[in-house]
Amino acid sequence: MRVRAVTYNVRGFRNGLDRVANVAGHFQPDVLLVNESGGRLELRRFARHLGMRAARDPWSPLRRRVKNAVLVRPPWRVVGRRLHRFSVARRFYPRGALIAELRRPGGHMWAAAIHLGLAPAERRRQAEELVEIVGRLEGPVLLGGDLNERPDGHAATVVGRRLSDVWLLGGDADGETYPAEAASARIDFLFVSKGLRVQRSVVPAGPDARAASDHRPVVAELTLDDETGG
């Protein structure tokens, strides 16, 4: 079963929601992992524009939001979701993983949208928490987001020991994603577990992708083993 996955830090749609939707929509993703997902109404409008459904952080009147989201296109549907807040994070910049369980006829997988912190020690602790969570999930896992560091960083290395970096298996060129206008660093990642095979991965570099956000998206063509193990 083919699955097209995209991870995208959309910068709260500050460069224009329609711009971001045009970039993401061009690839017709089955699963879209979003960082800095903006306000709830904006995210809902974005999902409608793409013909997708969004799983986001639960509403809480007492805590600052962790603005990650998982969007899916029918026939995929979200059958469960939860937000894991990392225990180590700056007070006014909470970080976490939005984890969604996805199903469609003949297919099941997990998707997690993540955004790690700005300090190296903070990111490493968050990555260690993350791999513990992933290790408890039963079934194929797609994980993606803004790690705020390059592939040789400690956090990326920790995650890469548990999951496979999609770009290393199917990417072309160097895959830089940041800053979008003149990208020089690969800090946005997609990772997969067993059960998801990588066909190819691209980072769009056209004028729309350079202008819609301060990050470029990462796009991957994957194959999901069916539920009978094929």
Identify the CATH number of the domain in which residue 21 sits.
3.60.10.10
pLDDT digits (tens, 9 = 90+) for 207-226: 999 999 999 999 999 999 97
Which run of H or of E encompasses 179? none
Number of domains making up the chain = 1
Percentage of residues of the chain with pLDDT beyond 90 = 89
Question: Between vectors from CA 189 to CA 46 and to CA 214, what angle results, nearest 5°?
Answer: 55
Give the chain's mean pLDDT: 94
User: Does 229 reside within a domain?
Assistant: no
Helix, strand, or coil (residue 18): helix
- Do 218 and 7 meet the contact criterion of CB atoms below 8 Å apart? yes
Find out whether 93 and 119 touch, Cβ atoms under 8 Å.
no
Task: Examine residue 42 and state whether it is found in any structural domain, yes or no.
Answer: yes
Q: Which DSSP helix (H) or strand (E) runs through 12?
A: none
What percent of the chain shows pLDDT beyond 70?
96
Mean pLDDT of the 78-104 span: 90
What residues make up the domain containing 29? 2-224
Residue 230 in domain = no
Across 124-129, average pLDDT: 96
Whole-prediction pTM: 0.95
Domain presence at residue 88: yes
